[in-house]
Structure 1
Amino acid sequence: MKNTLLILSVLMALFIAGKSVENNNPFILNGHISGISKGEIVLLTFAEKGYQTDTSEIVNGNFQFKGYYPKLIMGTLRLKLKRNGEEMVLKKQIMLENVKMNFNGSVNDFENAKITGSGIHDDYERCKEGKKQIRLKYERIKQSFPKYNPNASDEDKKALQAKYAKHKKKLNAAIKQYEKDFMQKNPNALYSSYLFEKATIFRSYEQLYELVKDLHPDLKKQPYVAKVISKVENMRRLEIGLDKIMDGVDPVSYQVDKEYKGKRVLDVIYLASFKNNELCALKKDGTIIILDEVGKVTKRFKPTISGKPTAISVDIEDNIYVFSSEMKLVKKKIRGRMVSKELPVGVECQIFSKEGEAINKYNLSGVHIASGSRVVDQHLIVSDCKLKKIQIHDRTSGELLKEIDDMRACCGILDFSVNQKKEIIVANLGAFRVQGFDYNGNSLMAFGKRGKEVLDFHGCCNPVSVATLSSGAIVTVEKDPTRIKVYSNKGAKQIDGIEELVKGCTYIPMIVDNKDNLYLASEEKGIVKCCMVK
């Protein structure tokens, strides 16, 4: 599908590989702020590991930051102070390069402080000034527009609103064109590569192809740009079209089983299925629930779990694999105050019989949180939303055998399934795509894009779950609002009658049994069963 999104970043504070990787010098920022004698100034960055803060004491108006940034990154200097009895925060953006830099500013004009010593930051300021002049030009145009009149007719109000919307659209187009021209005129500047990454956010394949094909040859040589071009070429190979992926897969229809009793089972966070089609459910407190095909609870037990339960799997022998994450309390100083947060740092796998008897346990190497899991033959496969990877382990020992990268986890969610061909089908929600991989990590297929049509995936990030039917049809789950779709050679068809299962960015577990019955779980709404309509 040519319009598939390749979301290369959802971070507005972008980071890229560049010459700073080759520079072993430290980053040093010496600063002076007139108008303040003592206090604290914070350097805030946002990268792969999330928000990072560094705090420096201000003594006689002077401060210093030191560090090392293997990738080019934008930071924000934040100065909190009181003025006329009111607390306010002054901000100044800065490109962080591993060189000695100097800051000279004032509390009265903090945003326009002078930063020297970095050619990358100089390019940023130059580009920023050019865009500022464009905004001033369009602001002058806007000043000539008629003012809003609350007593005007609805028709006149609508016309004025449309005029302002058109003006804003022209302004945004002018800014984008300026950035494009800047990249072409400065192809060897690292900041041009930074602008290129920014331009790739939420771009479809066709848009990305148009973006890269006319780039200056020197800009194409920059590491990040070359990587994107490689990805685009890979997408051209994978995007064979949904019609070919679903070739020979006949459409099927589902309806909600209104008699199913599983809706009474609440607080379920993950699902698995036994070979006799009984359901295995993991509750938030670690309790294991086994339900028959009508939703009646036939067994429950609560194993001793040291960490936070996250997922379960069932193997061909009906053994139950329970995954829990060890949580570590981490304290960080953010904006001048200490904040405590629990983070997953390791995963334990415990194996039980269907009757609840302990069989084995081990720690999974290189996993922080098992956000999804499947046991296939001798392989234990888990997804890690924190590390954004799919990992394949030996199911007996837990030994790590293979890792698959290029995942776009979001909202603490990353799940997958394994089809009858032993292919790993990933709900790569941060990329708004379904992707297929073999056990060696080779990409096999991909489809999906962000949008509002039935073939698209909506919201901030979707799909959250995916499964494959025995026919080869693919089922996807979207949240906020809840939407379950079945893909076949006729496209996508939504299953009707499913109420809103979750609120906001919340995972919706799904499993398919041997009869192709679908089961969905909601902590508040219980378990929903969908049966195929003959």
Structure 2
Amino acid sequence: MKLKMKTLAALLSILMMLSACNSQKKEAGFTLNGTIHGYENGTLLLKKDFNDPNPVKYEVKDGKFTITGDLLDEPKDLFMEIKEKDVRFGLYVENGVNTLEVKLTSKTHPMMGEMFSMEVIKMEASIVNEHEKEIREKDQQVRDQYYGKNMEKMASLTDEDINAYKEASANVNREFIKAHPDAYYSAYLALRLAHGEDSEGVREVLAMLDPKMDNSLVRALKTKLKDMELTDVDPSEIIKAKNVSYKVEKAFAGSNHTNIVYMGMFSNDNVCTLTKDGSIQIVDAKGKEISKFKPSLASLPTSIAVDQDDQIYVMYPLTKKVSRKFRGRTMEIDETYAFECSVFDTKGELKSTFELEGIVTATGARVAEGKLLVADWQSRIIGVFNAKTGAKEAALEDMRPCCAILDFSINAKNEVLVANLGAFRVQAYDLSGKNLLAFGKRGKSVNDFHGCCNPVSVAYLDNGAIVTVEKDPTRVKIFSSEGAKQIEGIEELVKGCSYIPMIVDSKDNLYLASPEKGMIKCVSVS
């Protein structure tokens, strides 16, 4: 599984807890004195989170920088980025003087699962806090046990090796929390352990902490648990529908329809596809191409939607050229400053165009009852717009995207079903954002969602059953009153952390797309 450079840098840094020195009174607030080896002069960006579009700039001179702040009620997390080095890292500071020493080195590393070369920026920091020093040393021992320092061994890692390391690392965290139930860092580790768990799992993690602890991390855990208890369900108990069985239709001629980015469905059950080159294609139920056109747009579109009148809504970014420094070089790149939607008929004639207020990325879209819903993974929202005027009406917030993926579907009751893959959950909302139900947790069983993050696609079937799609490896499952059942005969559709487009027709037939293998069709047989 390939990890992008930024993701790897963030994983290597881990989020460091730094303790305050006693040389400055706590009443004075906090100071962070940092030293960066390998980056002598430039700019350090301080962010509210890693997606903050308006960071505060700090000068790095002779490898030194200083950040000051007001008195803190509890340790504060800072998110920092060095764009020229393509490095991002997070850390905690406390009242008083905090010190940080970072060493940047360029090395070639094999990635998990296969050997290939890429330049990686590795960050090594001095650790003052004894609690974090202890946990990092133990975790490094576990990492060495499974990963080692031998490049060939690292290159041959299997999914089982990676999962074994993750479980062993989680056990190290659990042992630390039990030994230090009142430590602030334990609350941070507990929040990490709760990721991907259902309400029972979150309750168990919370019970490991000192019940007297009261800080933002503990409060976040308690809020998470409260919300989950209100909506968490056993899908077999809440979904009254019977299971729908499927088989892969071998006669479907979809193998030639490759590089599909997104799909929609016409009223006559023809499939509308968006391809990587920006073309709109119409494919019938047998896999035959009916027509194709390439709209003239400001940039390549990222998603589409089809309304009840078979109009095609195409989402695409508006970009401008900006200069960015990268490893000492100035480069011209396209930066998105807005998103637009253009509406076409099936012949490719433009009907209207409007801007999508507040949308930064558009990874998924659907039209229902005069509403255009657009998923924005970077902003973690699903925007709700008037489908005719483009006026923004609402936003479903606090989504949990991952791997630049966020998709959803909507049924006849205007219930929005979201693949909240970063939380390993399926969640349903009404158009006001009220959470209607949620289920799922991280796990290997057919009832759970596996891997880095899943599911990537979801949909309601006509009888109320729910279909989910997982990547790496590909699993398509039907959740009904009989529990979860996997559709057999579906090959691996994507590699690594990649989105798998899915759409459902009026007969509950499923269409899925693979960049290399084209479209496949799963036909309901019961």
Q: Counterpart of 1:72? A: 76
For 1:281 and 1:245, the matched residues in 2 are separated by: 33
Q: Counterpart of 1:407? A: 399
1:489–1:100 CA distance, 2 compared to 1 (3 A): same
Q: Counterpart of 2:130? A: 126
Residues matched between the structures, number = 460
The counterpart of 1:243, out of the listed 236, 241, 247, is 236
Pairwise mapping of residues 91-490 of structure 1 onto structure 2 (< 5 A)? Answer: 95-96=92-93, 101=98, 125-128=129-132, 176-184=174-182, 186=183, 191=185, 193-213=187-207, 215-220=209-214, 222-247=215-240, 249-328=241-320, 332-333=324-325, 342-490=334-482
Deviation, 1:102, is 5.6
Q: SS state of the match for residue 309, structure 1?
A: coil
For 1:37 and 1:428, the matched residues in 2 are separated by: 39
Is the Cα contact below 8 Å between 2:14 and 2:90 reproduced in 1?
no
- The structure whose Rg is larger is 1
Is the Cα contact below 8 Å between 1:27 and 1:96 reproduced in 2?
yes
Deviation, 1:200, is 3.0
State which drifts further: 68-77 or 289-298.
Answer: 68-77
1:227–1:132 CA distance, 2 compared to 1 (3 A): closer
For 2:424 and 2:103, the matched residues in 1 are separated by: 45
**RMSD of aligned Cα (Å):** 4.2
Is the Cα contact below 8 Å between 1:345 and 1:369 reproduced in 2?
no
TM-superposition CA deviations, 1:383-427 (whole Å, max 9, x none): 111111111111111111111112111111100000222100001
**Residue ranges of structure 1 left out of the alignment (5+ in a row):** 1-9, 17-22, 79-91, 114-120, 143-164
Q: SS state of the match for residue 250, structure 2?
A: coil
Deviation, 1:494, is 1.5
Deviation, 1:39, is 3.8
Is the Cα contact below 8 Å between 1:77 and 1:94 reproduced in 2?
no
Identity of aligned residues (%): 38
For 1:217 and 1:77, the matched residues in 2 are separated by: 35
Is the Cα contact below 8 Å between 2:245 and 2:525 reproduced in 1?
yes
TM-superposition CA deviations, 1:324-376 (whole Å, max 9, x none): 12245565556666576655442110001122211101010000111100000
1:439–1:176 CA distance, 2 compared to 1 (3 A): same
For 2:454 and 2:503, the matched residues in 1 are separated by: 17
Q: SS state of the match for residue 264, structure 2?
A: strand
Is the Cα contact below 8 Å between 2:186 and 2:209 reproduced in 1?
no
| TM-score between the two structures when normalised by the length of structure 2 | 0.75
Q: Counterpart of 1:6? A: none
TM-superposition CA deviations, 1:27-73 (whole Å, max 9, x none): 6544679xx999459868894328999785554xx722337699822
Q: SS state of the match for residue 308, structure 1?
A: coil
For 2:207 and 2:475, the matched residues in 1 are separated by: 36
For 1:461 and 1:491, the matched residues in 2 are separated by: 21
1:65–1:398 CA distance, 2 compared to 1 (3 A): same
For 2:277 and 2:35, the matched residues in 1 are separated by: 53
Is the Cα contact below 8 Å between 1:479 and 1:508 reproduced in 2?
yes
For 2:102 and 2:490, the matched residues in 1 are separated by: 58
Q: Counterpart of 1:158? A: none
For 1:321 and 1:356, the matched residues in 2 are separated by: 11
Is the Cα contact below 8 Å between 2:324 and 2:330 reproduced in 1?
yes
